[in-house]
Amino acid sequence: MGADSPRSSEPLPLAVAKEAKVSDMEDDQLGEEDIVFLDNKVEGEDDSQKEKLVLSEDCELITIVAVVPGRLEVTTHHLYFYDASSEKEETEEGIGFDFKRPLSQLREVHLRRYNLRRSAVELFFIDQSHYFINFKKKVRNMVYSRILGLRPPNLFYFGSRSPQELLKASGLTQRWVCREISNFEYLMQLNTISGRTYNDLSQYPVFPWVLSDYTSPDLDLENPAVFRDLSKPIGVVNPRHAQNVREKYESLRTQRAR
């Protein structure tokens, strides 16, 4: 939460990761009624105006080690989180997980899934800090829309797109093929587009296991034996592990048949 991550310091090409959705299912698509800010008067245009409360919602701050109950407040100038824990933990920033961030530093807002529910957003700031916020009731789209409605000056927004559309529009694959970006950067940005996050262990970024040769001093990438069998999940590539999985499957099937 709020910590630096190995995420690239540059925004995704064309900033298309701004609205990376967790799936391309229709019910995760924001409707026109959700994007109300496009035709409305911009609430945050005048920086000299008095700070006004835009919304206040109960929520949870999801971190790699804790789920922190609290309240998110969005004003015309700032984003606030108030830790409502009965016993507040000591963090690097003090006691509790409270934070206050200027809207002007907000770079990306991603729709996220938490516990298989489309109920969360993840906020990314220009200093590489990020916060994963989950809502208990169906207010995520409203919160998302109101934040976008304030039109933070550094926020990237390119409409509602599926991960497939975002990847295609980004040109990432072509840049990777042309060796303009490294394997690491390419995979990290794929993880971001697909909805993975550093703030939830169940959705932590993953890297594929593709090699089978870990002993040779040099790898011959033209030799098929260097690569593992990609037709199988990594858990059953080893024949011994495959046998264990098969035995567990047969055992469960027998129990269900009783």
131, pLDDT greater than 60: yes
The string of pLDDT tens digits covering residues 223-242 is: 999 999 888 888 888 888 88
Using CA of residue 157, residue 19, residue 129, residue 113, what is the dihedral sign? positive
What pLDDT does residue 22 have?
40
What pLDDT does residue 34 have?
57
Checking 247-255 for CB contacts under 8 A at 24+ apart, the result is: none
79, pLDDT greater than 90: yes
Mean pLDDT of all residues in 88-113: 85
Mean pLDDT of all residues in 201-223: 90
Q: In the chain, where does DSSP find H-type helix?
A: 140-149, 163-170, 172-177, 183-194, 239-257
98, pLDDT greater than 90: yes
What pLDDT does residue 163 have?
79
Mean pLDDT of all residues in 139-156: 93
What pLDDT does residue 2 have?
53
What pLDDT does residue 78 have?
97
What domains, with CATH codes, occur in the chain?
Answer: 13-203 (2.30.29.30), 208-258 (no CATH)
What pLDDT does residue 17 have?
40
31, pLDDT greater than 90: no
Tokens of 98: 């409270």
Angstrom distance (rounded) from CA 92 to CA 88: 13
- Asked if residues 160 and 141 have their Cβ atoms less than 8 Å apart, the reply is no
- Contacts of residue 27, defined as CB under 8 A and 6 or more positions apart, other chains included, come to 118
> Which residue has better confidence, 101 or 206?
101
- Contacts of residue 19, defined as CB under 8 A and 6 or more positions apart, other chains included, come to 109, 110, 111, 157, 158, 159, 160, 161, 166
Identity of the residue numbered 128: Q
Specify the 3-state DSSP secondary structure of 235: helix
Mean pLDDT of all residues in 130-156: 92
